Structure 1
Amino acid sequence: MIEVGNEIVVAHEDAGLDIAPSMGTEAVPDWPGALWVGAVDLDSLAGYTHLRLQDSIGYHRARLLVRSGSSVRGFIDVEAPDGVLDRGVLESAAAALPAAVASQPSSTPSITVIVCTRDRPALLRGAIAAILRLDYPNFDVIVVDNGASTAETRDMIRDEFPDPRLTLISEPKPGLSKARNAGLRRARGDIVAFTDDDVVVDEFWLRGIAAGFEQAPDVGCVTGLVPAGELRSPAQGYFDERVNWSKIVAPKVYSMADPPADLPTFPFCVGAFGTGANFALDRRTALALGAFDPALGVGTRTGGGEDIDMFTRVILGGHSLVVQPSAIVWHRHRAEVEDLMVQARGYGKGLGSWLTKILLNPHTARLAIARSPQGARHFLRNARNHSRGQTAATATATATTSASRDPRVEKALRTELFSVARGPLNYLLERWSGKT
């Protein structure tokens, strides 16, 4: 048995390597576009001729996150008939990927991991188990039970995780920002790493976080890669295409001192910096910035926006934000269309609420308005280039994927855009209710 990244692999006498999926599931896909998802370390293939993908019934293609040790190379989509992938096919596809970038930290600062949850003990169980297996010598965990309606989460933590590194606290007022602030106030680590209850963290997640804090002076925030851990339904496929943060594999450093030329609206950039499922803050910096805005986030009228709000405030505060792809958290996207629509509405409301907050502040409003014309031109230019550059093969693949989707999935983007218009009123109502 060999451990490769976050995966347990087993060598067999027939020179095949068994690889487990990134996130286990008992559901067999019936969607033609389904992709088995996992990770492979190219440095660990010596002596093997092929790979066997565990739990691959119903899948004919695979998406693999290719790594060299703890460093990320990128993603490949390959044919895997009968759940078997030839090593030569893998290496040929991986040859087109960028070279690995070293990602080992020189030190291991203390880190407090904060997981906020609300009445989802079944999902939380897997997330906590993966966190406690992390390859990192200096961390503790705080689980924030937010607005719980039952004692199930408390009982599960008490009965199944009697680990001295783990602390359960309660935040009775619902709202993700309130829960994160409760965890932040209790945190002891120099760095505070946040993740969700519907994820599986990679074994080297915190080493990637620590490496990110060494990439630039005055780093206030590090975000990481959040790839789809499961792609078995049209809803999951749509969401994976929709978001940027599931595909960012190139390290980045963002700061007001060196604004990126390819982001004309910087620092007001949705999706470019990462997402709330995987980020870490310097604890003192976060507290000095006033922590998270309690008027934003899931569990409030606004439905989201607290992560991009914090990322933007870190940068505007004169700190660097580092995107560190080697800090990996696998995310289970919503598999059902109904859940996807709820999520789309939340994303839209959160975006509209955050934009409202930006425009209510004279300083950020001036910056945002000044960047709006360039941002609009950049968006239109990219849209035209994408349309012109689409090959016949890409067009065919896109048509095949679209045809295999549930028609309701196509409404998700429109739902998200329409929901943006609800953000301003929701943000104002949430701020008003917080003062009463």
Structure 2
Amino acid sequence: MRIKGPIFAAPSVPVWAGATWVGEVFLDDVPSQGAPVDLVLDGADGFARARLLVRDRRQVWGFVTVDLSDGRVDADRVAAEIARLPEATAPQTDQLLARPEPISVVLCTRERPTDVRTALRSLLHQEYDGEYEIVVVDNAPVTDATREVVRALGDERIRLVTEPAPGVSRARNAGVAAARHELIAFTDDDVVTDPLWLTGLARAFAREGDNAWCVSGLVPTGELRTPPQAWFDQRVGWSRDLRPRTYMLREPPEDVPYFPFEVGRYGTGANFAVRRSAVLRLGGFDPDLGAGTRSKGGEDIDFFYRVIARGGSLVYEPSALVWHRHRDTQEALESQIDGYGCGLSAWATKLLLSPQDLMRGVRVLARREARARGRLRAHRPLLARTPQPQATGVVDVSSIEHRALLSGPWAYIGSRFFGR
């Protein structure tokens, strides 16, 4: 059995008793049951357990968690846990790409050279049969650190673009302007992209056709070394849905009661791709939303909602995966939660100021209101059993989130009408 990992190398041996080593195992590497075998995991000193993403080269099957002993895992135990996973569901029309479309990858960053170096190295190892380029957008830089990383890597596939005005939306718009291809994929600097990421994105575009304006992918947790990372891992739903989905306004999904307003279902800014024509049709990313603005976030959910509200399809493709490194300290976690809360209510404020987009969603919701209430009642027992984030080692941040939600409307109005 071959277990690949860790996704992110730990900077030091973890001291938290709940630390979990994160890696992956491919199904064709899982042996039949036999004599017990212990496998030594690289960099597993100090970790109490291992979380493994089970997959093959075309789809993901789920996650298994097993205990570690002195950095070792029982291979038969892993195989037994894998056998309990439900069968993965893949679209029946999925096919190999005969002629993969060229893709431009846009990575926006600001003064995080260590992180961006890790992300770029993973992007340079894409197993993609088509052509791809990498556009690094250095947003409002104060040093040459990002430029030096790009220069040191010395790969002709990487181009550096500078966007002097702060804000991730402005940076993404600059990346779109610089990109050479129709398909444009976006990711962040705190990630490791899977080698098959671009293949998964391109396959989803090919499967769904021209109406697929946007494809988002799976974003599993790449590191569980500290309590703040574990808290965030349990809070967000970036890796809970392992089924390919297509969201469109004319076909509301039966299991999403408040579609199209349940924006958390659509994905996150760390992993999505768009057609250039769709970005231009939508007017780009909102420069008054996102990190680097008063709103601190919300630019990705705003874009996803507009894709659906204006008649496009948003495809969720779990085989296109990007591993995310969550904030590892309490201070950084609080800052992130503040940004998410502020960004969410800032986006809601923008929606109230965009009556056409708002009413498109309201009309869909109104037509299915009675059925939505029934489904929500049916979901309540399941919601009640959903495990809540463990508070061990983490100061409660719910009050920070609540305050941030209150600040979002004023932040968006201030940015939109009075400048940054």
The two structures share one fold, judged by TM-score above 0.5: yes
The residue aligned with 2:283 is 290
- Looking at structure 1, the residues matched to 3 and 304 of structure 2 have their Cα atoms a distance apart, in angstroms, of 39
Native 8 Å contact 1:121 1:152 kept in 2:
yes
* Deviation by residue 1:390-433 (Cα, 9 ceiling, x = unmatched): 7xxx7xxx7xx836323x1x2x2331132111111111111113
Contact residue 145 and residue 168 of structure 1 kept, 8 A = yes
Stretches of structure 2 lacking an aligned partner (at least 5 in a row):
none
Q: 8 Å contact 2:101–2:131 — kept in the other structure?
A: yes
How many pairs are equivalent?
407
User: Cα 1:303–1:170, aligned 2, differ >3 Å: closer, same or farther?
Assistant: same
Q: How does 1:357-372 map to 2 (within 5 A)?
A: 357-367=350-360, 371=365
Structure 1 contact 17–52 (Cα < 8 Å) conserved = no
CA deviations on 1:206-228 (whole Å, 9 max, x unpaired) are 00101111232410100011011
Q: Does 2:46 match 1:84?
A: no
Q: Which residue in the other structure is 2:150 paired with?
A: 157
The aligned runs of 1:34-433 (5 Å cut-off) are 34-46=19-31, 49-101=37-89, 105-106=96-97, 107-136=99-128, 137-158=130-151, 160-217=152-209, 218-367=211-360, 371=365, 382-387=379-384, 389=385, 402=390, 404-406=392-394, 408=395, 410=396, 412-433=397-418
Q: In 2, Cα distance between the equivalents of 1:242 and 1:376?
A: 24
**CA distance in 2 between partners of 1:24 and 1:145 (Å):** 25
Structure 2: distance between partners of 1:363 and 1:146: 32
In 2, Cα distance between the equivalents of 1:424 and 1:380? 30
The question of whether the paired residues in 2 share the 8 Å contact of 1:190 and 1:282 is answered with yes
For residues 258-288 of structure 1, the C-alpha deviation after alignment (integer angstroms, 9 at most, x for no partner) is: 1111212211113101100000001111111
Post-superposition shift, 1:105? 4.0
Q: Which amino acid aligns with 2:101?
A: P
Question: Matches of 2:12 and 2:68 in 1, distance apart?
Answer: 18
* Contact persistence 1:145–1:169 (CA under 8 A): yes
RMSD, aligned α-carbons: 2.3
Letter in 1 for 2:349: T
Q: Does 1:21 align with 2:6?
A: yes
TM-score norm. by structure 1 comes to 0.88
Q: Normalized against structure 2, the TM-score is what?
A: 0.91
1:365 deviates by 3.2
Deviations 1:71-114 (A, max 9, x none): 21011111122222222211211122232445664241110000
Identity %: 43
Cα gap change, 1:236 to 1:377, in 2 (>3 Å)? farther
> What CA distance in whole angstroms lies between the structure 1 residues aligned with 2:184 and 2:67?
40
